Amino acid sequence: MSASPDTGRPAAAVTAVTAKDLPRLQRRTSGVLIASQILGGLGVPISIALAPVLATEISGTEAMSGLASTASVIGTALLSLPLAALMTARGRRPGLVLAYAIGAIGACLVVLAATVKNFPLLLLGMAAFGAASSANLQSRFAAADLAAPDRRARAISLVVWASTIGAVLGPNLSAPASRSFAGTSIPQTAGPFVWAAAVFVLTGALIGVLLRPDPLLTARALAGPGEQTRAGRSLRAGFAAVKASPRARLALLTVAVSHTTMVSIMVMTPMDLGHHGAGLELIGLVISGHIAGMFAFSPLMGWLADRLGRLSVIGLAAGLLSVATLLAGTAGPNHGQTALGLFLLGLGWSAGMVSGSALLTDSVPQPARAAVQGLSDLTMNTAAGVGGAAAGLVMAQAGYGWLNAIGAGLLLPMAALALFTSRRHPVPPADAPAKSAPAPTAQTPAAPAKAAPAEGVTED
């Protein structure tokens, strides 16, 4: 089995996988990615929860408190394409390891900034810290590299589900992480960032040691010599692949709109609840329910996307997000209605993220996938950063109800494009996720299960 001549590595160094080995390797890869997602998921929220507080302490004004979190989002977006370029050239493992290493360096810079009271250094550190979030996002695509077409959404959803543990436990570890540095020269508010740096180093080491063989390089080797050209793997090829595929454009829009709608409404909900007399405990309960909706039900969304098709679950995402904006935007002092709206907001995000990510992977040639996936994360995080910043202005000028109305308006082009795509570019029966060929066996060629290519692209 030959590997890419561009890698400079012998075929055996990339993969010695046969068709018989593929299911076992996919399970192993998923297990490593789930474990890394749990660890990495601990590091991100444990520190993001205190970033606004730390920014206020260093800058001396609450007006600057939001810039720390914004710097992290910008860092996640800006680093998405360089990391994707590295993965495109060298595989998932080096890209993920480097991302967590940059995140650890960023956490150390934040600690240094807190110690010397340097606000620009804090923003630089938070931008680098965002690389860890980029690694968490890219892990969902790594899970799909070796998955059969009819199981890709489920492979992605399991990695998304693993984020639940970190999202729930991370903020609860902030207090002990802060207390652990009492009496030292490190400010207690920066303590969680020390813990985060250690977590990121551990996560990178886990991936570096155990994510072998590299899933992306293995998928390329299994795809055959025709998939190995460097030009076909470039970022330019990724842009061209999206431009050429209506389904890829829909997938990109779905991920970006779902994430932007969710972030814009979620970040302003605590403020609206506070305006209507809710205490911190109730606010925490509502946000916890929202997080549960985001992550806990992602395996269900993956199963639906594989069984019913990606476009059906994209439609479900649009419906759930629309109902969520209606409930939250008209709740007023009814905290139970707000809680239900936020739960559905998380559930709609999960449906859009899982189905959109799977459709994106389905819709572009195998060599260009890593580049396209990096473009997806860049688009998603940039849009969410703009949406989150604009949400505060809308809240201040028009109120929470109008913010939800604008969020609902963002869903209209996504729903319209999904309907247009389903009618103008229907999935051939052989290419429907639930109907794809069975996984390869020792009696079949040593390649992942193939479906008839849609939109004139090559499947791995």
Which backbone phi and psi does 213 adopt, to 5 degrees?
A: -70, 160
User: What pTM does this model have?
Assistant: 0.81
Integer Cα distance of 438 and 198 in angstroms: 42
Give the model confidence (pLDDT) of 451-460 as tens digits.
333 333 333 3
Contact criterion met (CB below 8 Å) for 98 and 149? no
Structure confidence at residue 52 (pLDDT): 75
Structure confidence at residue 29 (pLDDT): 94
120 burial level (CB within 10 Å; 0-12, 13-18, 19+): exposed
Predicted confidence band at 233 (pLDDT cuts at 50, 70, 90)?
low
* Angle (CA) 81 6 233, round 5°: 35
The lowest-confidence range among 134-138, 228-232, 253-257, 416-420 is: 228-232
Average pLDDT, the chain: 83
* Angle (CA) 208 4 149, round 5°: 75
Pull the structure tokens for residue 193: 């960032």
What are the residues whose beta carbons fall under 8 Å from the beta carbon of 113, sequence distance 6 or more?
58, 119, 121, 122, 124, 125
> If you search the block for the tokens 């996560």, which residue do you land on?
203
Cα–chain-centroid distance for residue 425?
Answer: 27
Predicted confidence band at 1 (pLDDT cuts at 50, 70, 90)?
very low
Which backbone phi and psi does 416 adopt, to 5 degrees?
A: -65, -45
Pull the structure tokens for residue 386: 């703009």
Question: Among candidates 409, 392, 91, 150, which has minimal Cα distance to 271?
Answer: 392
